[in-house]
Amino acid sequence: TLNLLVYTVGFHDILKDVFSHCDDKAELIACVWAGYFSISENTLKSTFKSEFLGILGDQRETDLFLAKRIDELTATKRELAATHDTLNVTLAELTAKTGQADQLMVKHRQLASVVQQEQASRKHVQQKYFA
């Protein structure tokens, strides 16, 4: 509002000059005030436009930044979804292999039991017939 201050000082100087040379001061002051208000209004509109355009420009920059950020996050989301799918496949494979390992462990225990029984039977036969 430095412009408004300049206009105010100018208005005051004009009033001094005009009143010193005019007989119909009431009509003259009404015209001067109308001009002053017009100038003030235009100054405020111009300032408002400048501020509004500045805000609008800032908003555009923000919108562009947010759009870029949304694109980045969307790409990251896609990458994470692909990684998730890969991990699910790997988990399924490992689960299947774990099931196979469990089955092998059961067979191993069964075979170990049969071997123990056979060893016990041999020992018994050796003691009975060769002792």
What are 2-47's pLDDT values in tens digits? 666 777 788 788 778 877 887 777 777 777 778 877 877 777 776 6
Higher pLDDT, 38 or 113: 113
Q: Which residues of 27-66 are buried (b: 16+ CB within 10 A; e: fewer)?
A: eeeeebeeebeebeeeeeeeeeeeeeeeeeeeeeeeeeee
Is the entire prediction scored with pTM above 0.85? no
Look at the block and give the residue holding tokens 């908003």. 59
Higher pLDDT, 64 or 45: 64
Percent of the chain with pLDDT over 90: 37
Round to whole Å and give the CA distance between 125 and 94: 46
Model pLDDT, residue 55:
72
Round to whole Å and give the CA distance between 55 and 41: 21
Asked if residue 2 lies in contact with residue 38, where contact means CB atoms within 8 angstroms, the answer is no
Round to whole Å and give the CA distance between 3 and 32: 18
pLDDT band at 53, cuts 50/70/90? Answer: low
Distances (CA, A) of 110 to 9, 30, 86, 98, 124: 109, 115, 36, 18, 21
Closest residue by Cα to residue 22 from 9, 34, 31: 31
Asked if residue 32 lies in contact with residue 14, where contact means CB atoms within 8 angstroms, the answer is yes
